[in-house]
Amino acid sequence: MKKEIILLGGGGHCKSVIDVIEAEGHFKIAGIIEKYVGESKSVLGYKLIGTDDELEKLREQYEYAFVTVGHIKSNTVRIKLFEKLKNLGFTIPIIISPFAYVSKHAKIEAGTVVMHHTLINAGVRVGENCIINSKALLEHDCTIENHVHVSTNALLNGDVHVKEHSFIGSGTVVKQGYRVEGFVKMGSVVK
């Protein structure tokens, strides 16, 4: 029997995470949690079942929860929700698309989602509450600290280190051995 999970945030990123969860097949999505009642009616057929203020009560019914708020300009909301889930004792899983490749020699921490067609090579470490988006490539020995978003089709060559809270835009290429911090716009070449 599949474990039930609740998802916090009902926007576009939530749709992408739902697709990965459905493909992965480990969880049954119980519903969506939003900030306010009426903010979202349903997402891909999954109903709004509560608000952020009701998480303590929802914890009595559900063990698993996952943050599905995206991170483009700021990750403040993602971090706040992630910390709230931890403090309430929810189990925050790692969600990995069955269409991604993750080396058995890589380490991924709680609350991170690895989207479709991503490649994470040997020696990579990905911290908590990260988004590794579709078709991203993390080459050997990369370190991705907590609360980072590596966007679609970003390419991080070997031994790249991405500092906490950073955003790596779509199509960015980072030269091997570089350290990256902050907001890197789409299509950048970091060398």
Q: Decide which of 25, 56, 87 is a domain's last residue.
A: 87
- Per-residue pLDDT of 131-173, as tens digits, reads 999 999 999 999 999 999 999 999 999 999 999 999 999 999 9
Give the position of tokens 């990750």. Answer: 75
Residue 51 and residue 129 share a domain: no
Alpha helix (H) residue ranges in the chain = 12-24, 55-59, 76-87
Residue 184 and residue 100 share a domain: yes
Residue 182 and residue 103 share a domain: yes
Give the position of tokens 């970003």. Answer: 154
Burial of 34 (0-12, 13-18, 19+ CB in 10 A): buried
pLDDT of 72 reads 80
The mean of the pLDDT values for the chain is 95
CA dist 80 and 163 (Å) reads 18
Burial of 112 (0-12, 13-18, 19+ CB in 10 A): buried
- Per-residue pLDDT of 49-90, as tens digits, reads 999 999 999 999 999 999 999 988 889 999 999 999 999 999
- CB contact at 8 A, 102 and 114: yes
For 23, the token pair is: 């493909």
Residue 99 and residue 83 share a domain: no
The torsion angles phi and psi of 85, rounded to 5 degrees, stand at: -60, -45
Which domain range does residue 25 map to?
3-87
Q: Decide which of 87, 106, 124 is a domain's last residue.
A: 87
What is the count of structural domains for the chain?
A: 2
What percent of the chain shows pLDDT beyond 90? 92
Q: Above 90 in pLDDT, residue 183?
A: yes
- CB contact at 8 A, 33 and 6: yes
Q: Decide which of 65, 87, 109 is a domain's last residue.
A: 87
Residue 146 and residue 110 share a domain: yes
- Per-residue pLDDT of 109-128, as tens digits, reads 999 999 999 999 999 999 99
Residue 82 and residue 115 share a domain: no
pTM higher than 0.85, yes or no? yes
